[in-house]
Amino acid sequence: MVECLIDRLGQYSFLEDSSKTLKADGKHIWADIQKASTLLKIQNDEIAALKSELEQTKYQSAIYRDEHQRMEEVAISNVDTAEEIYYAREKLRAAHEELELQKEYLHLLSITDPLTGTFNRRYINEELNKEISRETGSLSFLMMDIDHFKTVNDSYGHDAGDLALKSFTKLCEDTVTVEHSLGRLGGEEFAILLPGCGVIEAAVIGENIRKKTQDLVVDDGKNHFSFTISIGVSELLEGDISGSSVSIRADKALYRAKNTGRNQVIICDEIATR
């Protein structure tokens, strides 16, 4: 448009020089306009690219923010879960320990005589068989019975009889060592398992218990009374495969002790006659 205007002005002679000047200047102006237009377009493209990049950045920021928030929530949840797992494990451990204690307690009850607190028949029989299976050497067995215990109960009452049983138990516990096992078989009958003891040594221990028993005086707060004990002694013999063989021989020796005067220690015939 500018070029057409300059050409038309050039038709007039008095404007010929001026038209030449304008024409030259117009070309420069047009070049400048084209350059400015190109720069403006480039600038617009850059602005558009920046806007797009800004939008993308905003989008990525939103994604990052959401992801960060989600990770925080997961982390908090994991902390809560970890604490729950920890406390659950602690409760489980405590419950397991309590269960083990209960099992121990129940086992102890199953092998303990409730009146005297010493071992019971079940424990003595189990330990006797265990000792035989170990084959560790000498093993002796004392079977003991309080003489005329029914008379004690009839004369002084069952509470006095219970006190007599407890007093005898303590006397035996103070006499034997920790390697020996004392047990109440039932009623007024007791037994002592003596690992590592030969029959002679076992008879000496039995005699020591017998003497201490006859010197014992029981005081129940109302009466003073004494009692004696009969003891049968046996030991493990070659060919014995179970505890019953040993205990049967001791029981026979006890029977002889009671039938031949009581208050004495008798070694079983199978050993005494060797």
Q: Which residues are catalytic?
A: 188
- The answer to whether the CB of 216 falls within 8 A of the CB of 157 is no
Q: What tokens does 140 get?
A: 């002796």
C-alpha to C-alpha distance for 127 and 4, rounded to whole angstroms? 131
Sign of torsion over alpha carbons 127, 201, 177, 255: positive
> Which among 114, 118, 135 is positioned nearest to 176, based on CA atoms?
118
With residues binned 3-state (H G I as helix, E B as strand, rest as coil), the percentages for the chain, rounded to 5, are 70, 15, 20
SS (H, E, C) 21-77: HHHHHHHHHHHHHHHHHHHHHHHHHHHHHHHHHHHHHHHHHHHHHHHHHHHHHHHHH
Give, in order, the Cα–Cα distances in Å from 188 to each of 43, 147, 212, 226, 228.
Answer: 116, 9, 17, 14, 11
Give, in order, the Cα–Cα distances in Å from 99 to each of 104, 122, 131, 157.
Answer: 9, 23, 29, 41
Task: Please compute Rg for the chain using Cα positions.
Answer: 55
